């Protein structure tokens, strides 16, 4: 199984930014652990992060017929990007949306997710464990 994990803007700053919300573990360490976990479970995990909406759209489009699933944490683009939603719909790859924090218990504007209109599941408020749960969900359904 081949999964693509896409992280949106500012997630590369994990471990530095708003530790009370996102924790103190560094982004690269979280991603390294996810790759090891995926590999140990027979999953090829490709990780991608961008602060640019257009680059995320490009990456989703390039995933067409190359990946069995997409795990996406669109970060701030969750609440603003119809382009990312449309790209996911266009490639029609099963998608799980992940958020480290529980966005429903934060600012009002964070309660709208365009990606959730397409994603088959949304996992939020589980910290980095949300990514592991998403991988497990794909494994379970394969």
Q: How far apart are CA 43 and CA 35, in angstroms?
A: 9
Say which of 27, 77, 99, 131 is annotated catalytic.
99
Q: How far apart are CA 99 and CA 75, in angstroms?
A: 7
Q: How far apart are CA 47 and CA 68, in angstroms?
A: 14
Strands 44-49 and 2-7: parallel
Residue whose C-alpha is closest to residue 99's, from 119, 72, 120: 72
79 is catalytic: no
Say which of 22, 27, 114, 131 is annotated catalytic.
22
Scanning the structure block, which residue is given the tokens 């992280």?
7
Strands 95-99 and 121-124: parallel
Q: How far apart are CA 57 and CA 46, in angstroms?
A: 16
Catalytically active residues, by annotation = 22, 99
């Amino acid at each position: 199984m081949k999964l693509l994990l896409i992280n949106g803007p500012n997630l590369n700053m994990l471990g530095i930014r708003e530790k009370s919300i996102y924790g103190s573990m560094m982004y690269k360490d979280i991603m390294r652990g996810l790759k090891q976990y995926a590999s140990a479970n027979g999953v090829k995990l490709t990780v991608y992060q961008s602060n640019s909406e257009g680059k995320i759209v490009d990456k989703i489009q390039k995933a067409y017929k190359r990946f069995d699933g997409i795990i996406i944490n669109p970060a701030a683009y969750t609440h603003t990007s119809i382009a990312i939603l449309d790209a996911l719909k266009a490639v029609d790859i099963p998608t799980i949306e992940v958020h480290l924090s529980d966005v429903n218990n934060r600012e009002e504007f964070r309660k709208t997710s365009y990606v959730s209109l397409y994603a088959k599941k949304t996992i939020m408020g589980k910290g980095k464990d949300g990514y592991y749960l998403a991988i497990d969900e794909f494994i379970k359904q394969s």
